[in-house]
A and B are shown apart, each in its own frame.
Chain A
Amino acid sequence: MGLEGIEVEVERGGGLNTEPMILNMGPQHPSTHGVLRFLVKADGEVIRAVVPDVGYLHRSIEKIAEKVGYHGFMPYTDRVDYLAAMFCNQGWAMACEKAAGIEVPKRAEYLRVIAAEFNRIASHLISVGSMAMDIGANTPFTHALREREKINDLLEALCGARLTYNYMCIGGVTWDMPPGFAERALDFIERFEPLIDEFNDLISYNKIYVERLAGVAAASAEDAINYNLVGPNLRGSGVRFDLRRDLPYSVYPELEFDIPVGRGEVGTVGDCFDRYIVRVLEMKESCRILRQCFAQIPDGPVLAKVPRKFKPPAGEVYVRVESARGDMGWYLVSDGSEMPYRVKIRTGSFTAMAMIDKLSRGIMIADLVAVIASLDVIAPEVDR
Chain B
Amino acid sequence: MDAAAIHARLKGRLGEKLGELEQERGDPCARVCADAIVDACRFAKEDEELGFDCLTNQSGVDYKDKGVIQVVYHLFSYRHRHGFVFKVDLPRDNPRVATVEGVWKTANWLEREIYDLLGVVFEGHSDLRRILMPEDWEGYPLRKDFVEPEQYHGISTKRESLI
A: residues with CB less than 8 A from B are 1-2, 4-5, 54-55, 58, 60, 62-63, 99, 222-223, 225-228, 239, 241, 246-247, 314-318, 320, 327, 329, 331, 333, 341-342, 344, 346, 350-351, 353-354, 358, 383-384
**Nearest opposing residue in chain B for A314, CB measure:** B25
Is B94 among interface residues, defined by CB-CB distance under 8 A?
no
Question: Which residues of A lie under 8 Å from residue B62 when comparing CB positions?
Answer: 342
Question: Which residues of A lie under 8 Å from residue B129 when comparing CB positions?
Answer: 2
**The one of A55, A247, A344 that contacts B81, using a Cβ cutoff of 8 Å:** A247
Question: Which residues of B lie under 8 Å from residue A331 when comparing CB positions?
Answer: 57, 59, 72, 74
Q: Report 28 cross-chain contacts, Cβ distance below 8 Å, ordered by A residue.
A: A2-B135, A4-B127, A54-B131, A54-B132, A55-B131, A62-B142, A99-B26, A226-B106, A228-B54, A228-B56, A228-B104, A246-B81, A247-B81, A314-B25, A315-B26, A318-B27, A318-B57, A318-B74, A329-B74, A331-B57, A331-B74, A342-B61, A344-B59, A346-B57, A351-B110, A354-B105, A354-B106, A354-B108
Question: Which residues of A lie under 8 Å from residue B89 when comparing CB positions?
Answer: none
Give the total of B residues in contact with A, Cβ under 8 Å.
35
Interchain CB contact under 8 A, A344 and B53: no
A316 to B105, CA, bound (A): 26
Question: Which residues of A lie under 8 Å from residue B127 when comparing CB positions?
Answer: 4-5
Is B55 among interface residues, defined by CB-CB distance under 8 A?
yes
A1 to B55, CA, bound (A): 29
A312 to B54, CA, bound (A): 30
**Nearest opposing residue in chain A for B106, CB measure:** A228
For residue B62, give the distance in angstroms from its CB to the closest CB of chain A: 7
Interchain CB contact under 8 A, A383 and B132: yes
For residue A366, give the distance in angstroms from its CB to the closest CB of chain B: 26
Question: Which residues of B lie under 8 Å from residue A341 when comparing CB positions?
Answer: 61
**Nearest opposing residue in chain B for A1, CB measure:** B135
**Nearest opposing residue in chain B for A346, CB measure:** B57
Main secondary structure of the interface of A (DSSP, over half): mixed
Interchain CB contact under 8 A, A316 and B27: yes
**Residue from B25, B117, B134 whose CB has the most chain A CB atoms within 10 Å:** B25
A55-B133 CB under 8 A given contacts A329-B56, A344-B57: yes
**10 pairs of A and B residues whose beta carbons are closest in the complex:** A228-B106, A315-B25, A344-B59, A354-B109, A316-B26, A55-B132, A346-B57, A58-B132, A329-B57, A315-B26
Is B85 among interface residues, defined by CB-CB distance under 8 A?
yes
Question: Which residues of A lie under 8 Å from residue B108 when comparing CB positions?
Answer: 354
Is B141 among interface residues, defined by CB-CB distance under 8 A?
yes
Interchain CB contact under 8 A, A241 and B78: yes
Interchain CB contact under 8 A, A225 and B27: no
**The one of B61, B85, B132, B141 that contacts A318, using a Cβ cutoff of 8 Å:** B85
For residue A327, give the distance in angstroms from its CB to the closest CB of chain B: 8
**Nearest opposing residue in chain A for B72, CB measure:** A331
For residue B1, give the distance in angstroms from its CB to the closest CB of chain A: 15
Question: Which residues of A lie under 8 Å from residue B132 when comparing CB positions?
Answer: 54-55, 58, 383-384
Question: Which residues of B lie under 8 Å from residue A384 when comparing CB positions?
Answer: 132
**B133-148 residues at the A interface, CB under 8 angstroms:** 133-135, 141-142
A351-B25 CB under 8 A given contacts A58-B133, A62-B142: no
> What 5 additional pairs, Cβ within 8 angstroms, besides A1-B135, A320-B56?
A222-B53, A315-B26, A318-B57, A331-B74, A384-B132
